[in-house]
Amino acid sequence: MEAKSETVSIKAEAKPKFTISNLFNSLKEHLNLLLTVFKKTLLIDLFSRWKFIFGIIFMIILPIVWLLPQDASILNDQSSLNEVIGMVHIFFTYMTVLPFLLIYSSASLISEEIKMGTMLLLVSKPISRGEIMWGKYTALLFYNLILSVVSLGIVCLIAFLKYPFNDIIPFFWTQFVFSLIVIAFFGTLTMGLSMVFKNAKTTVVIPLMLLLIMIFLFFIIRPFLMMPTPNGDTYYEAFHVYNYDLGYHFINLYVWLYETLISQLPEGMIWWLLSWGIYTIEYDEFSPEFEILTKTHYQPPYISLLIILSFTVIIIIIGFIIYKRRDIN
């Protein structure tokens, strides 16, 4: 009995007493480990001067080329920067170039380190795999956030020098908030897949295919899907294509941001939105030569946001479970 009581006493002494000070020190230690992984990922794995510069150039080149030839003499106090380059910037910068840069930069963050053996060095230190994942993930989001802010700032500066548009600041905020959604989606998706697959090339395939389908395939075939069926509905509506059309959900969120933060959409932007299923053309029965642009309302914006976030959250949870159970050796 005495030996048993001594064992219990030893265990009680070995177990640290819970105090606010111990909790604070433990939290501080975890944050320091996260910061170490964050800095290593940001400054070594992601950032390089030339890669950053070329990323900025690719993100701004088409919007600037589109903006500069605009004749300033025809612009007036009501001229909208959103109408001039809003959809060009959204489509090219945030739905083509930025996702590609995200996929390219994040595909190797976990998988390549496991393949090259550097992950073994990380896990051999007093740091959990969760801290490794969160450190790399936050660094990835932060790096691409800086890319977005710098490129968007350059576009707004050049727009101001070209002509003092009346909505430069609203343009900045709507584009910036939309970029956060894109960064969160493609960054989380690719990060999750990087924890699932052992090869960075395999990790790249799925998000790149989604990007190609979202931008190019649907951009090409969507006009045909908008043709009416014998029943009068479009094929897009009849087969509920909008439910799994990521392009539609992203643009649906952009339109919601625009209408919430700025005002009613200008007509020049509405014509762009026909290609994304947000608007459709109807004709007056008595005057068929007149085209009526009608908003489709296939899904409310919060459903689009829920679909986008749910998809990525599921992928990163599955990826982390596989990564946590993986034998790094």
Give, in order, the Cα–Cα distances in Å from 242 to each of 43, 232, 276.
40, 17, 9
Query: Please, which residues have CB within 8 angstroms of residue 103's CB and are 6 or more apart in sequence?
Result: 186, 190, 204, 207, 208, 211
Q: Is 294 among the domain residues? A: yes
The per-residue pLDDT for range 12-38, each reduced to its tens digit, is 445 556 577 766 676 777 788 788 888
The per-residue pLDDT for range 183-210, each reduced to its tens digit, is 999 999 999 998 888 788 888 998 999 8
Q: How far apart are CA 231 and CA 238, in angstroms?
A: 9
Q: Is 3 among the domain residues? A: no
Q: Name the least confident of 59-63, 236-240, 304-308.
A: 236-240
Handedness of CA 224, 230, 232, 235 (dihedral sign): negative
Q: Is 91 among the domain residues? A: yes
Q: Is 2 among the domain residues? A: no
Q: Is 8 among the domain residues? A: no
Tell me the pTM. Answer: 0.85
Q: Is 159 among the domain residues? A: yes
Q: How far apart are CA 45 and CA 48, in angstroms?
A: 8
Domain containing 160: what range? 16-325
Q: What pLDDT is attached to residue 61?
A: 95
Q: Which of 221, 226, 247 is nearest to 238 (CA)?
A: 226
- The residues facing 43 across adjacent strands are none
**Residue 80 pLDDT level (bands cut at 50, 70, 90):** confident
Q: What pLDDT is attached to residue 238?
A: 86
Number of domains the chain is built from: 1
Q: Is 7 among the domain residues? A: no
